[in-house]
A and B are shown apart, each in its own frame.
Chain A
Amino acid sequence: MHEQLYRSLYRIRRVEEHAARAYPSDKIKSPVHLSIGQEAVSVGVCAALEPNDVVFGTYRGHALYLAKGGDLKQMIAELYGKVTGCARGKGGSMHLIDPEAGVMGASAVVGTTIANAVGYAYALKLRREPAIVASFFGDGATEEGVFAESLNFAVLKQLPILFVCENNQYAIHTHQRQRQGRPDICARARALGMPAECIENNELLNLVERGKQVVGRIRSGLGPHFMEAMTYRWQEHVGPGADFHLGYRTEDEAQPWKDSDQVHRLADLIDPVRRTEIETEVEEEIAAAFDFAESSPFPSPAELHEHVFQEVCA
């Protein structure tokens, strides 16, 4: 299991680093919100999910897309605006989707997909399907009205959904304590009627263990569950670089999170030979994905008018 987790974690980290390195070439002509530092939350929760389970995410969604099994080549091609991208170059980094892998999209408007995830869970329950939904969002989303509305409905209908709040403490450059009169997010989830827990340390193995337990609970029909996962964004809000020079946070604050970097933690748990093999395979896969994106064509002009409406009606 450690090897699988390490592969997923390392792969996301390296994809993000490659994206950051490609960024100055201006071939990625779109905003990217890197998930470096936050990978463990997506990897941990997705390790507890089945292929038929479904996730909804956010504009900082590379980690979730990859952790749930989204196609890497299509992702990079999407960043490059190529027609081979997961959204044919029409969605970009903030709207990655791979329905075959259960990645049902992401929104650039904070909080928006929480309600979509709840609706999807309603459909699963109505059809008596065994799958569940995991809804990922940030700490900022919990300030949106749709957060409370969605959790209320999920409790009311006892829906098969896991709410995952990736709390990196910042909404762009504003700390949670400057935005929330009472920062206890789990208390709000409990007040709306569902069990809630906070995972403080961003530790992957802990996230996997807790994830498996609560996913099993949800799958057995016990209703929604809330998980707040404390984590930390290493890079700037949007873009490839660091942003400590802006002064809204300090390198001292970031240091403990970097010291407990989960990529290194997991690496230490794996046989060095296997580790090298995994890393080599991942590097080759990433290189192939960037080559694929580079060599893929852009959409034709006719694509502009395609996909406004679904043509075939029931």
Chain B
Amino acid sequence: MTASRTTRPARQSRALPKSVAGAEALRSPGEANVWGFEDSAPAKQSEISRPVTRTLSYVEALREATDFEMARHESVVVFGLDVDDPKAIQGTTRGLAEKYGPERVFGTPLSEDAMTGAAIGMALAGLRPIHVHIRMDFLMLAMNQLVNVAAKCHYMYGGRVHVPLVVRAMIGKSWGQGAQHSQGLYSFFMHVPGFKVVAPATPYDAKGCLAAAVRDDNPVLYVEHRHLHFTHGLVPEESYLVRPGKARITAHGSDITLVGISAMQTECLAARHYLTTAGIDAEVIDPIWLSPLDIDTIADSVERTGRLLVVDNGWIACGAGSEIVAAIAERLMGVRDLRVQRMGFAPVTCPTTRCLEDLFYPNGRTIAAAARDLVEGTKTGWVPDEEPKLAKLEFKGPF
């Protein structure tokens, strides 16, 4: 992997096997394809030869990937608050402690700082720890170890050690998650050289990205959104990798490029459907890996569409979306006329009351409205009527 984000990654094959529909995962099994994906297959990153017919939830896909990796190598250990309790982190760690024993799967004291430091020490000793945080907000207690040690060790020690660490962190939303259970703070880690960041949006990618993260010899922040935990999709039974540095076009279009990060991928696909009713054909891209970021795939798309709307699952200022827009502007300045826009959380603390919280997040309709204005180059005032089928999935507690 090339270290510098200014280095343009090598072009990769665009060949897409039709056997696995990645974006299928964004709807429930048996449901009609309400979002009208015509081509939503994942990039060819692993050898999935047989047609995939099995449906799994995001949670089950995560659990399966963890199970596979633990079986594959005894150096993989899983720990964090509550990983071995009856709820087993929404089920993502269910059964692992029984199968692999309490030395490889264990709940920890409420010590995010030291346990992150311990995870690094384990990695330095040759283990491959997966440290689980049920909310990303809790990572703020571990920033010293993550930024000053995990991301630094390989470089600071001249390549003599490395830190194969996976940090799973969940983002909450709705049902009163509020100020300290809702933050999408992954851009902090994109800022720091030495960290990889992945935010899979489908069960297929949840499994393939976790396997890739565990096998990576570098620290990886693995971003999960609680809403995505509830989604179902086609997941191959065998082991496969969704490797760092490759985005996926989840729906083709020619009028505008929508980039949706994490759960905002779902909202962008909903927006695409609304836009078709206004005669606008949107292309939707899931970056999947935010660091290293596949800017080539996004740039190729924007070179065709001339418009880019990036929808982040975090605040806009200094965010992942800002990084993508800036990189595209640098790439396409003088190459093509373009219009760009960023969307993300409102620049406020997330409120708990529903009426304000609904205004805090972008959604399919507000994204569609912004996209249409961008395409038409004027404030049209258009906002599509809500379609019940596209109403967002609700998280309901207790959690």
Contact = CB atoms under 8 A, between A and B. Distances in A.
B156 A115 contact: no
Contact of B125 (A109, A124, A145, A305): A124
Interface size class of A (residues with CB under 8 A): 35 or more
B52 interface: no
A105 B153 contact: yes
Contact of B117 (A54, A89, A104, A116): A116
Nearest to A109: B148
Given A91-B156, A126-B103, A309-B194, A105 B161 contact: yes
Interface stretch (A22-30, A61-69, A147-155, A271-279): A147-155
B3 to A, nearest CB: 3
Contact of A309 (B128, B144, B154, B158): B154
B125 A146 contact: no
Interface string B106-120: 001101011111111
Contacts of B104: 126
A147 B237 CA distance: 44
Contacts of B121: 56, 115-123
Interface in B120-140: 120-129
B138 to A, nearest CB: 14
Interface stretch (A80-88, A163-171, A181-189, A260-268): A80-88
Nearest to B76: A314
A172 interface: no
B162 interface: yes
B240 to A, nearest CB: 14
A1 interface: no
B375 to A, nearest CB: 38
Contact of A149 (B4, B109, B129): B109
Nearest to B193: A308
B161 A153 contact: no
B125 A99 contact: no
A119 B158 contact: no
A310 to B, nearest CB: 4
Contacts of B160: 86-87, 97, 99
Contacts of B119: 119
Contact of A115 (B103, B113, B162): B113
Nearest to A85: B158
B364 interface: no
Contacts of B103: 126
B216 interface: yes
B155 A308 contact: yes
Given A119-B129, A123-B125, 9 more contacts: A85-B158, A105-B157, A115-B118, A116-B120, A119-B121, A123-B121, A126-B104, A152-B114, A156-B109
Interface of A: 54, 56, 85-91, 95, 97, 99, 104-105, 107, 109, 112-124, 126, 145-146, 149-150, 152-153, 156, 305-314
25 contacts: A56-B121, A88-B158, A91-B156, A95-B157, A97-B157, A109-B144, A112-B148, A115-B113, A119-B120, A119-B124, A119-B129, A120-B125, A121-B121, A122-B121, A126-B103, A126-B104, A149-B111, A152-B111, A156-B109, A305-B3, A308-B154, A310-B159, A310-B164, A313-B217, A314-B217
